[in-house]
Amino acid sequence: MKKLLTGNEAIAEGVIESGAEVVTGYPGTPSTEVILTLLPQEKELGIHIEWSVNEKVAFEIAAAAAWAGKRALVTMKMSGVNVAADSLASIAYSGCTGGLVIFVADDPGANAGMPEQDSRHYAKSMVVPMLDLASQQECLDYVKVAFDISEKIGGPVFLRSTTEIAHVASDVVLGEKLNIKREAHFERDIVKYTKAGAAWCMAQHQDTLNRLTEASKIAENYISESGIKINEIHIEAGSKCGVIYAGAVQGNFQEVLKRYNLKLSWLKIGMVHPLPEERIKEFLKNIDRVLILEELDPLIEAEVMRIAYLLNREVEILGKFDKTLSLIGNYSFKKIKNALEVLLKTKLESGQDPKILERAKKLEVKRPTSFCIGCPHRGTYFALNKAIKNLKYKKDEIIITGDIGCTILGMSKPFESCWTEVAMGASIGLAQGFKWAGIKKPVIATIGDSTFFHAGIPPLINAVYQKVPLTIIILDNGWTAMTGFEENPGTVNLNGVTNTRRVDIVEICQGCGIEDIQIIDPYQSKKATESIMKAIEYTGVSVIVSRRECALQAKRKKVKLAKRKVNIDKCTGCRICLSSLACPAMVFHPKDANNKAYMEITSACFGCGLCEFTCPFGAIEVIKDGK
Amino acid sequence: MESNFYLIGVGGQGVIRLGQIIADYGLKKGKKVKFFKEVGMAQRGGPVHCEIRIGNIFGSRIPPLSSDIVVVMELSEGLKSLEFIKPGGTIILNRKKIYPIDMMAYPGKYPQEEEIIRLIKEVKAKIIWIEAGKIASEAGLPIAENIVLLGALSFISLFDKESMMNMLRKHIPRELDKNIAAFNGGYKIVKRNNNMKII
């Protein structure tokens, strides 16, 4: 049977077909949809699936399940591997008895923001084999391959995707579901599972290296019963040019070959760590010039150079070192076409007039992002800016450290509040550094609820312990919203999907020793502003919990608030409301022959009521009884 | 044989839903399908575009000069599609302008319609104008502009109408009658005014 699945949905299908019994993860674009797809099926599948508090915890849970003999998979984006890395290194050394697969999605092209980190480096540094996904079909197939290899070698295996694979849908052939039900069993073996003493640690290191060698042997000529291959070689008789590639570049590479009817040799690498050294040697013997196609860092390219040196064979190697290709961004059809022109020393005509495109580009309309209609964060930043102004500070003298998630939109117009965005929870740590550096004016950190749970608590404890005068604003909308509304420990309504107990951010703060905690409603702008002013003036660590459910989620739950309308007689068309809030429900009507200029609040209004606080003429009114 | 469809607009217009229906149609016809979507900040009025490739295809993105049909749901966004339209291909232009917030809040320039048309003509695309909003309103469902455009696209692409109706039933079960009316509205207007056939 065929289904239209995105790469991530295909991973989810692969997880089901592999018989995995524990699936954990933390949301992060472009990896989120694996668990989003699986979670509603949890009961039906009879397995455990969860959004964990962060990637490290998620990984530890999956690892222990695999230590108990189960098949377990953990999902995260590339930044999440940084969080999980500490445990990952240790667990990689210990290995496992069941199957352990770490699914990580990289983002060449930085579609979702964040550094363009290449997680293949982790495979190298952690001594863990890594499969690189080149198509949506492989997403499904390689989950099975990864579990297969993991269990054969007795250690974890990385499965790496990228945005171009993860978020694109394609026709995918489904397979059979493996029926694995295993009794949990964990044998005490401190030589394997603890790190007491150099001898044990070095023995574990040797075991890890052995597992890597074993993985290499398995992968080199791997063909499963159903015909799934890991590495594939094609030698084109009569061509001395070749391409070695891995991952998402496959689609555009084959597209260029088809478009220009090019015939050349190629080697497709499915396992990027360890590399198939024998296949690479075999390939290099057949060609004189080779182009290495891999997005981000030149890991394969460096290895090919080493292997060519060992072969004592003069092969021209094109890639990133000679600047044929870029270290930055994903590889489009055009970039690959240009690289193949260099390889083949021929011009491949595109027939495109770049001048037309340049002219079109100049005319393009920029569409800056703002908070959604009714977003509670709009209210928080509106009140925060007002509080700063009321306290007679200038906007450019109060440092506000921002954090990951929807809350960072506070850096954009019209608020322009946040100054920094680093990593999960980093706003609270950075704020302390600014104080110790000697910043005399108040320093404020803003952070979302899920980000706070993820990595915001240790720096909060640190601030209390070191007595750093700070104001921390936790924007609690109850959801991990930016990535698509996943639940986190603070989420109230789980719609019966999961069996969880809510953890209250206020109680956490109290437990951490925060003495000045205020809960505000960001829709109640006046009160909110006063509370923030008090918090900023407080001499110790003060916390504001700005609490209001994400408006998109509230809308789904049919929460209805009184919408607003503009009284056109009073409206002067000054646009102060629009330029202070940038609410997408507002439309400005310029002056024309029949009308004066005026604002309109469309029926998309959610009823947060903030605009009422902005209008100097009292022209914004509540709609009563739908009139 | 391959068919490429490039759809573009802004958040909330139903660009992705339109793409999903076309991609699913391709799958039901037993073809290879790739469906790419760019939704980034769609909830917040950002640009949205998707690409559907059906047939003998490999990459998930439409190569330059390869899109048989481009559907532009918001006029200025159409400028971004010029790189991809095939010479002789068709561009369906929805007569709709959506001004970004900052352009309304501060003085900003929205491109002149004539400038956009001039550029489209230079890339040698055929233009079909559709007032999807008007047709959708006549069908009793003003929001169904995307379905009107699906009707237009289906006629031009010679999609099998009955299979497409089944897709509508599957993907948009709510207000089906009005959606079908919107679809037919788009289908008929192209049939009446144009005889161009692509595939």
Q: What CATH number has the domain bearing residue A416?
A: 3.40.50.970
Do the chains contact at B101 and A167, CB–CB below 8 Å? no
Residues A535 and A586 in one domain: no
Read off the pLDDT of each residue in A182-205 and give the average, rounded to a whole number: 95
Statement: residue B68 has pLDDT above 50: yes
Q: Find chain A residues with C-beta within 8 A of B123's C-beta.
A: 353, 356
Domain boundary among A174, A195, A220: A220
Interface check A412 vs B, CB under 8 A = no
**Residue A305 to residues A231, A277, A520, Cα–Cα distance (Å):** 19, 11, 60
Residues A136 and A251 in one domain: no
Domain total for chain A?
4
Pick among A365, A588, A606 to test the B interface (most B CBs inside 10 A)? A365
Which pLDDT does position A418 carry in this prediction? 97
ipTM of the complex as predicted: 0.94
Residues A214 and A263 in one domain: no
Structural domain of A454: 376-493+500-556
Residues A523 and A580 in one domain: no
Residues A488 and A549 in one domain: yes
Do the chains contact at B34 and A370, CB–CB below 8 Å? no
Q: For residue A147, which amino acid is it?
A: F
Statement: residue A21 has pLDDT above 50: yes
Residues A278 and A394 in one domain: no
Are the C-beta atoms of residues A565 and A623 closer than 8 Å to each other? yes
Answer whether residue B167 is part of any domain: yes
3-class state of residue B23 by DSSP: helix
Answer whether residue B98 is part of any domain: yes
Min distance A490 CA to chain B CA atoms (Å)? 23
Residues 99-118 of A with CB under 8 A from B: 111-112
DSSP state of A232: E
Answer whether residue A368 is part of any domain: no
Q: Find chain A residues with C-beta within 8 A of B111's C-beta.
A: 363-365
What percent of chain A is predicted at pLDDT more than 90? 92
Structural domain of B52: 2-192
Of A196-200, A438-442, B37-41, the poorest mean pLDDT is in: B37-41
pLDDT band at A148 (very low <50, low <70, confident <90, very high): very high
Q: Find chain B residues with C-beta within 8 A of A363's C-beta.
A: 76, 79, 111, 115-116, 119
Answer whether residue A324 is part of any domain: yes
Which pLDDT does position A543 carry in this prediction? 98
Do the chains contact at B34 and A169, CB–CB below 8 Å? yes
Question: CATH no. for residue A309?
Answer: 3.40.50.920
pLDDT band at A398 (very low <50, low <70, confident <90, very high): very high
Distance CA A594, CA A329 (A): 50
Over residues A163-176, the pLDDT tens digits come to 999 999 999 999 99
Q: Find chain B residues with C-beta within 8 A of A258's C-beta.
A: 56, 58
Residues A187 and A243 in one domain: no
Q: Find chain A residues with C-beta within 8 A of B122's C-beta.
A: 353, 356
Residue A110 structure tokens: 């930085």
**Residue A117 to residues A139, A289, A327, A593, B169, Cα–Cα distance (Å):** 21, 29, 11, 55, 43
Task: Please tell me which residue, B12 or A437, carries the higher pLDDT value.
Answer: A437
* Interstrand relation of A130-132 and A265-269 (parallel, antiparallel or unpaired): unpaired
Domain total for chain B?
1
Answer whether residue A361 is part of any domain: no
Do the chains contact at A259 and B100, CB–CB below 8 Å? no
Residues A439 and A532 in one domain: yes
Residues A66 and A152 in one domain: yes
Residues A212 and A236 in one domain: no
Distance CA A282, CA A302 (A): 17
pLDDT band at B198 (very low <50, low <70, confident <90, very high): very low
Read off the pLDDT of each residue in B20-43 and give the average, rounded to a whole number: 89
Question: CATH no. for residue B24?
Answer: 3.40.920.10
Task: Please tell me which residue, B101 or A361, carries the higher pLDDT value.
Answer: A361
Residue of B40, B45, B110 with shortest CB distance to A111? B40
Read off the pLDDT of each residue in A197-209 and give the average, rounded to a whole number: 96
Answer whether residue B112 is part of any domain: yes
pLDDT band at B15 (very low <50, low <70, confident <90, very high): very high
Task: Label each residue of A111-137 as H, E or C.
Answer: CCCCCCCCCHHHHHHHCCCEEECCCHH
Over residues A415-433, the pLDDT tens digits come to 999 999 999 999 999 999 9
Q: Find chain B residues with C-beta within 8 A of A252's C-beta.
A: 58-59, 61, 63
Answer whether residue B96 is part of any domain: yes
Answer whether residue A313 is part of any domain: yes
Answer whether residue B197 is part of any domain: no
Distance CA B4, CA B71 (A): 11
Distance CA A148, CA A141 (A): 11
Answer whether residue A139 is part of any domain: yes
Answer whether residue B165 is part of any domain: yes
Do the chains contact at B123 and A356, CB–CB below 8 Å? yes
Backbone angles phi, psi at A236, to 5 degrees: -95, 115
Residue of B34, B65, B116 with shortest CB distance to A170? B34
Nearest-CA residue of chain A relative to B10? A367
Do the chains contact at B58 and A371, CB–CB below 8 Å? no
pLDDT band at B197 (very low <50, low <70, confident <90, very high): very low
Read off the pLDDT of each residue in A449-458 and give the average, rounded to a whole number: 98
Min distance B94 CA to chain A CA atoms (Å)? 16
Interface check A483 vs B, CB under 8 A = no
Residues A70 and A176 in one domain: yes
Read off the pLDDT of each residue in A31-60 and give the average, rounded to a whole number: 96
Nearest-CA residue of chain B relative to A134? B59
Nearest-CA residue of chain A relative to B22? A4
Answer whether residue B79 is part of any domain: yes
Residues 146-175 of A with CB under 8 A from B: 164, 167-171
Read off the pLDDT of each residue in A3-31 and give the average, rounded to a whole number: 97
Read off the pLDDT of each residue in A469-473 and give the average, rounded to a whole number: 97
pLDDT band at A627 (very low <50, low <70, confident <90, very high): low
Answer whether residue A448 is part of any domain: yes
Residue of A4, A333, A360 with shortest CB distance to B119? A360
Q: Find chain B residues with C-beta within 8 A of A4's C-beta.
A: 23-24, 27, 33, 35
Residues 2-41 of A with CB under 8 A from B: 2-4
Read off the pLDDT of each residue in A345-359 and give the average, rounded to a whole number: 93
Q: Find chain A residues with C-beta within 8 A of B56's C-beta.
A: 258
Distance CA A439, CA A417 (A): 17
Nearest-CA residue of chain A relative to B55? A171
Domain boundary among A220, A243, A260: A220
Answer whether residue B168 is part of any domain: yes
Q: Find chain B residues with C-beta within 8 A of A333's C-beta.
A: 59, 61, 63-64
Residue of A255, A365, A584 with shortest CB distance to B44? A584
Nearest-CA residue of chain A relative to B25? A4
Read off the pLDDT of each residue in A207-236 and give the average, rounded to a whole number: 93
Domain boundary among A556, A572, A588: A556
Which pLDDT does position A402 carry in this prediction? 98
Answer whether residue A203 is part of any domain: yes
Which H/E stretch holds residue A170? strand A169-173
Statement: residue A141 has pLDDT above 70: yes
pLDDT band at B199 (very low <50, low <70, confident <90, very high): very low
Min distance B15 CA to chain A CA atoms (Å)? 15
Over residues A95-121, the pLDDT tens digits come to 999 999 999 999 999 988 889 999 999
Nearest-CA residue of chain B relative to A575? B105
Task: Give the count of beta carbons closer than 10 Å to the beta carbon of residue A494.
Answer: 11
Interface check A259 vs B, CB under 8 A = yes
Backbone angles phi, psi at B70, to 5 degrees: -120, 130
Read off the pLDDT of each residue in B121-147 and give the average, rounded to a whole number: 96
Statement: residue A351 has pLDDT above 90: no
Which pLDDT does position A495 carry in this prediction? 57
Residues A59 and A116 in one domain: yes
Q: Find chain B residues with C-beta within 8 A of A361's C-beta.
A: 79
Distance CA A178, CA A140 (A): 13
Read off the pLDDT of each residue in A241-246 and give the average, rounded to a whole number: 98
Nearest-CA residue of chain B relative to A359? B119
Interface check A504 vs B, CB under 8 A = no
Answer whether residue A508 is part of any domain: yes
Q: Find chain A residues with C-beta within 8 A of B80's C-beta.
A: 360, 364
Q: Find chain A residues with C-beta within 8 A of B116's C-beta.
A: 363
Distance CA A86, CA A78 (A): 14
A-B CB pairs within 8 A amount to: 145
Residue of A164, A334, A370 with shortest CB distance to B64? A334
Q: For residue A391, which amino acid is it?
A: L
**Four-CA torsion A422, A131, A182, A40, nearest 10 degrees:** 50
